[in-house]
Amino acid sequence: MMSPNITEETFSSLADQWSRLQHVRWGSIFALPAWLQVWWQEYSPEACPSLLAVRQDEELLGIAPFLIAEEKASFLCSTDVCDYLDFVIAPGQERGFFIALLDHLKERSVKQLDLGAVRPESSALKSLVPIAGERGCPVKSEQEDVSVELDLPDTWDEYLELLEAKQRHELKRKLRRLSAEGSVVYRSVSMLDELNGCMDSFLTMFTESRRDKAAFLTARRESFFRSLVSGTAQIGIARFGILELDGVTAAMLLYFVYGDRVYLYNSGYEPRYESLSVGLICKALCIKDSIEKGFKVFDFLKGNETYKYHLGGKEVPLYRCQITIQ
């Protein structure tokens, strides 16, 4: 058998493979070519993108979307807008992929892999770390954050029963109180023209609902958000969830759907409705909508905000993994 072949891919060639190669595990939304390309176009760091594809006899084993600067390689993306990352690997090909990748990086004089944030079940932790250890490569892995997610049951009633009694009572009370104020409608939009039409309203609510979000939304991040919604709408994964009270938008969510998961990316609400808990209710109704549409996991993503736990979320640790290549 010939040794694996490693090639430098482009964002266009990755996008073509994403649409054709269903056997490859693309993991999360943050590994998708559309997401990575938007990030690169908006941020363009000094490090060079190196989209490494490993093939054995023309069969794709996996992809390493890297930034390489001097002697260090890291995942292409940044943790302020990409919550967790991983390699893209065909099932069962982890060992061949990582051995070839480590050999290639050593030949390129890359001495340090700095990978974060990665989940416990990531191929980086489950496969790469043991293989690096076998080769005598020093490995350092430390928890640096948490993500929060919820396994979705089959029905809304089952979901309510999953909540702690106090939180179940509070959610029902908030829903009744909002309904007493007027007609409550939750809807989701996914078409490109609708998404673009909602963008200004969402960004206004995003910055007005919390001071820290206003500070977070720099001009660069706003441009990234706008490009991200347009880019991911073209592959059908972007959504705005909208909560209306008597026909007036009271809260909005930016989220993504991929595989059996819903990814809650960001949110905002109209400050004059704050006393009615419209931000929390909008998220709860998005969970209800996700259950009804058959999704299996509601991913609140990175951060330990209290509302995530009140809505039934459970922590998933996120790690930073550093490997010295020898």
Q: Are 135 and 162 in a shared domain?
A: no
What per-residue confidence (pLDDT) applies to 215? 83
* Residue 4 DSSP code: P
pLDDT, one tens digit for every residue, the chain (326 residues): 678 999 999 988 888 877 776 666 788 899 999 999 999 999 887 778 899 999 998 888 999 999 998 899 999 998 889 999 999 999 999 999 999 999 999 999 999 999 989 999 999 999 999 999 999 999 999 999 999 999 999 999 999 999 999 999 999 999 999 999 999 999 999 999 999 999 999 999 999 887 888 788 888 899 999 999 999 999 999 999 999 999 999 999 999 999 999 999 999 999 999 999 999 999 999 999 999 999 999 999 999 999 999 999 999 999 999 999 98
Q: Are 164 and 137 in a shared domain?
A: no
Q: Count CA atoms closer than 13 A to 277's CA, side-chain side.
A: 16
pTM as predicted? 0.94
Q: Round to whole Å and give the CA distance between 304 and 233.
A: 28
Q: Are 287 and 161 in a shared domain?
A: yes
- 247 within domain boundaries: yes
Q: Are 172 and 277 in a shared domain?
A: yes
- 78 within domain boundaries: yes
Q: Round to whole Å and give the CA distance between 46 and 33.
A: 20
Phi, psi of 218 (to 5 degrees): -70, 170
CATH number of residue 251's parent domain? 3.40.630.30
Q: Round to whole Å and give the CA distance between 99 and 94.
A: 9
Q: Are 118 and 176 in a shared domain?
A: no
Q: Which amino acid is at 185?
A: V
Q: Round to whole Å and give the CA distance between 237 and 240.
A: 10
From the list 190, 228, 255, the residue with the least C-alpha distance to 32 is 228
- 309 within domain boundaries: no
Q: Are 168 and 255 in a shared domain?
A: yes
Q: Are 186 and 79 in a shared domain?
A: no
20 CB contacts (<8 Å, ≥6 apart)?
Answer: none
Q: Round to whole Å and give the CA distance between 280 and 148.
A: 16
Please, where are the H alpha helices in the chain? 11-20, 33-43, 94-107, 123, 129-134, 156-162, 165-181, 192-209, 211-216, 219-233, 278-292, 306-310
Q: Are 199 and 91 in a shared domain?
A: no
Q: Are 141 and 162 in a shared domain?
A: no
- 302 within domain boundaries: no
Is residue 266 exposed (0-12), middle (13-18) or buried (19+ Cβ within 10 Å)? middle
- 227 within domain boundaries: yes
Question: Could you tell me whether strands 297-302 and 261-269 are parallel, antiparallel, or unpaired per DSSP bridges?
Answer: parallel
- 304 within domain boundaries: no
CA of residue 323 relative to chain centroid, distance: 24
Q: Are 191 and 269 in a shared domain?
A: yes
Domain residue limits at 289: 153-295
Q: Are 126 and 242 in a shared domain?
A: no
Q: Round to whole Å and give the CA distance between 66 and 74.
A: 5
Number of domains in the chain: 2
Tokens in use for 265? 């990316």
- 38 within domain boundaries: yes
Q: Are 28 and 141 in a shared domain?
A: yes
- 305 within domain boundaries: no
